[in-house]
Amino acid sequence: MSRDGADRRRIAAWILVAAIACVPVLAAAASPLQRGRELLWIIGGMAGVLALSLLFLQPLLMAATPPLMQVRAGVTWHRRGGIAIVAMVAVHIGALYLYSPEDITDALLLVAPTPFSLYGVISLWCLVLTAALAATRRVLKIGYRPWRILHSVLAVAVVGASAIHAIQIEGAMEEYSKLAICIAALLVTTVAAVEVNVLAPMRRRTALRKA
Amino acid sequence: MTSQSRAADITSIAKEETMTAKIIVTDRRVLLTGALAIGAAGLLPRSVTPATAQSSASNGFAPTETMAGGSNNYVANAPLVQNLGTGFVASGVVRRAGDGKPLSNIRVQIWAATERGGERVPSNRGSVMTGPDGSYRLDISPIVPQFGQPHIHIAYDDPGFATLFLRPVLNSRHDKALTADFVLAPAAGNEPRRS
């Protein structure tokens, strides 16, 4: 493959990825529902939308690195992406707590009347566990194989629960772009989990056998 | 025919058909499904009929129960208002538990997120009194979803009867009206039990 072809493929891939990630964020920001909202409500809502978009980007940084960027850069950005997701979720919950403490308290204690709160909380705790494990992986001496399996399972849980959470919410997100980003995030996470845990190890084995 | 009058028609149909004790009419779809279900239940042998359909005749009007999240963002003593804007109508009938007598001159407190801001915005909060027929009605600016669901809050929080907090959800965020009838329990029912 020529160098020009690789560059063109990389640019095309980035345009597609950026479009899928940005459209729901821009659509939510442009929603007429934002007009009457107080600042904390806007911040809390948009942080959730951004976190959802980042959940779509995050697996790509690990599993689609040859087309998108170099593998080493991918690992660095995957780590930054993880920190950004945790930060966005913290802002999402923190700002909404400051805006309406009782609603968030109900949600966290699983007594809210809204069905999507449960999925938000499931996603939150899976994310907390993921972040805690990522931060202490070396201290706990978790090997690469169990780590990638555990991390993939948690990632699928976080994205799955987040998608249900988002789809059930009636809010500023535009319906079609919301559905699109949720499906895209689920698809990318599933494919990435299969790639990292099944396809890549298989390729490595084949390469070893040939050598 | 406006959606509001249609809702009212359906309400009256449902009342005739079910003579239900607990009347919270919040949602046309639920109401229709309920009416159909109870209509279908009438075809079943008596022993299979759900308890809810039977209890109404013997117990009379059972008190409406407080809903989860009903009291969120409640600020006591919402001022009496003429309206909270226009574009949406919240209405209903307040009754007494037991005999179902409509209660007049009852203060109904309402707050909701509207196009003008969230539930905590002072201009989204107000009280109305029920008329001689026990009905109340409040015009509000168009309702928008807050915390992921388009809903309004209704409170009864005066000494005469037990405190009640409702959180009816709109059938659709584009609905222009919502009917919430409720039944108040005697005040003693809400007192802490003395041993």
* Domain ranges (residues) in chain B: 3-59, 88-185
Identify all chain A residues contacting B169, using CB atoms and an 8 Å cutoff.
113
pLDDT reported for residue B38: 55
According to DSSP H, which parts of A64-143 are helical? 65-68, 71-99, 101-108, 115-136
Does the CA dihedral A152-A154-A155-A161 come out positive or negative?
Answer: positive
- Quote the mean pLDDT of chain A: 94
Determine whether the interchain pair B150/A170 forms a contact, defined as Cβ–Cβ distance below 8 Å: yes
Give me the mean pLDDT over the B181-191 stretch. 79
Q: Does domain B88-185 have CATH number 3.40.50.1370?
A: no
ipTM of the complex, rounded to two decimals: 0.85
The answer to whether residue A82 scores a pLDDT higher than 70 is yes
- Six-digit token pair at A101? 């403490």
Instruction: Name the A residues in 19-58 with CB < 8 Å from any B CB.
Output: 33, 35-38, 41
Cα A46–Cα B112–Cα B163 angle in degrees, nearest 5: 130
Q: Which of B147, B170, B173 to mutate to test the interface with A (most CBs of A within 10 A)?
A: B147
Give me the mean pLDDT over the A103-127 stretch. 96
Question: How close, in Å, is residue A11 to chain B by CA atoms?
Answer: 37
- Six-digit token pair at A79? 């780590």
pLDDT tens, position by position, A21-63? 999 999 999 999 998 899 999 999 999 999 999 999 999 999 8
B35 touches chain A (CB under 8 A): no
Determine whether the interchain pair A106/B115 forms a contact, defined as Cβ–Cβ distance below 8 Å: no
- Quote the mean pLDDT of chain B: 78
Q: What is the pTM of this model?
A: 0.80
d(CA B61, CA B39): 20
- Six-digit token pair at A94? 């923190």
Q: By three-state DSSP, how is residue A83 classified?
A: helix
Would you mind telling me the total number of residues written for chain A in this entry? 211
Distance of CA B46 to CAs B14, B34, B60, B174, Å?
20, 18, 19, 40
β-strand partners of B153: B111
Identify all chain B residues contacting A170, using CB atoms and an 8 Å cutoff.
145, 148-150, 173
pLDDT reported for residue A5: 77
pLDDT reported for residue A67: 79
pLDDT tens, position by position, B37-76? 655 554 444 343 333 333 344 458 999 999 999 999 999 9
Identify all chain B residues contacting A35, using CB atoms and an 8 Å cutoff.
115
Q: Give the residue among A62, A204, A73, A71 at the shortest CA–CA distance from A147.
A: A62
Question: How close, in Å, is residue A152 to chain B by CA atoms?
Answer: 29
pLDDT tens, position by position, A157-166? 999 999 999 9
Q: Beta-strand (E) ranges in B33-145? A: 88-96, 107-112, 125-129, 135-140
pLDDT reported for residue B53: 37
A168 touches chain B (CB under 8 A): yes
